[in-house]
A = this chain, B = another copy of it.
Amino acid sequence: MQEELFAFIDQYMPLTAEERHALVQLDIFHSFPKGTVLVRAGERSQRSYFVLKGCLRSYRVVDGEERTVELCTENEGLTPPWAADKATDELYVMCLEDVILVVANEGMEQEMFERFPRFQTLCRIVSEKQLVENKQAFADFKDRTPEERYVHLQENRPDLIQRVPQQHLASYLGITPESLSRIRKRIARPANGVS
């Protein structure tokens, strides 16, 4: 799976042979079966995750109910809240599918930054890009009705509609499973690629 990681990084900066070798030497490639809970609320694991294959779900438990915060699939990373000062320690992270991940910790990052300062540039650019995308998604969420949110997801991420169980998709869209079911019936238009 290392080629997938290299291809992702190469979009931002083509890696040298030495940099590729250093990445492979780190113990960062890990597989986990579907259902594995990688992080539990209250932990301060200090690990960050980048998905090479599969789907991760982060969620909170509010009033006894799981509320999906993020869904991360191929070439997406999960920035842990414990990386910020105001760590809330309230997130769980679990594998919705069998996954292959890049798992890094702060020590590995520091080592790479010291040996190859360009990795710092890479991480800065990727997090600035994610910040802008996240702000835009937040603004879109405020401006859209629940039905518009579902239609937007259907048009832009039809894979999530196929891969993610209904109840998780509902809280991800900020609605109840019953509302999601009504919206789907009202639209009565199958997602791309489904007969």
List the interface of chain A (C-beta within 8 A of B).
Answer: 60, 62, 67, 69-70, 79-81, 83-86, 88, 113, 117, 120-121, 123-124, 127-139, 141-143, 171, 174
B residues less than 8 Å from A70 (CB atoms):
135
Please give the count of copies of this chain that the complex contains: 2
Q: How far is the CB of A170 from chain B (nearest CB, A)?
A: 11
- Report Cα–Cα, A81/B123, bound state, in Å: 18
B residues less than 8 Å from A133 (CB atoms):
84, 86
Main secondary structure of the interface of A (DSSP, over half): helix
A131 partner, pick from B113, B120, B121, B134, beta carbons under 8 A:
B134
Contact A134 B134 (CB under 8 A): yes
A79 partner, pick from B86, B120, B131, beta carbons under 8 A:
B131
Q: How far is the CB of A142 from chain B (nearest CB, A)?
A: 4
